Amino acid sequence: MHVTPSVASDLLQRYNLRAGRKHGQHFLVDPNTVRKIVRLASIDPDETIVEIGPGIGSLTVALAEAAKRVVAIEIDYEVAEALREMIAGLDNVELLVGDAMSVDLDEPSRLVANLPYNVATPLILHVLDDLPQVRGGLVMVQREVGERWTASPGSKIYGSVSVHIEYRARAEIVAEVPRSVFMPPPKVSSVLVAFERREPPVDVADEAAFFGFVRRAFAHRRKTLRNSLGIGEPGCGIASNARPEDVSLEEYACLFASQ
pLDDT tens-digit series, residues 161-195: 999 999 999 999 999 999 999 988 888 899 999 99
In sequence order, the 6+-apart residues with CB closer than 8 A to the CB of 96 are 71, 72, 73, 74, 103
Q: Which pLDDT band holds residue 25 (cuts at 50, 70, 90)?
A: low
Q: Which pLDDT band holds residue 21 (cuts at 50, 70, 90)?
A: very low
The dihedral through the CA atoms of 149, 152, 158, 161 has a sign that is positive
Distance CA 27, CA 34 (A): 12
Give the residue from 117, 114, 128 showing the smallest Cα distance to 162.
128
Distance CA 42, CA 36 (A): 10
Q: Which pLDDT band holds residue 20 (cuts at 50, 70, 90)?
A: low
pLDDT at position 249 over 70: yes
pLDDT at position 104 over 90: no
Distance CA 169, CA 201 (A): 9
pLDDT at position 26 over 90: no
Distance CA 224, CA 240 (A): 8
Q: Which pLDDT band holds residue 222 (cuts at 50, 70, 90)?
A: confident
| Domains parsed from the chain with CATH numbers | 5-197 (3.40.50.150), 207-258 (1.10.8)
**What percentage of the chain exceeds 70 in pLDDT?**
97
Bridge partners for 109 per DSSP = 134
Mean pLDDT for the stretch of residues 151-167: 97
Q: Is-above-0.85 flag for pTM?
A: yes
For residue 181, what pLDDT is reported?
Answer: 93
Q: To the nearest whole number, what is the mean pLDDT of the chain? A: 93
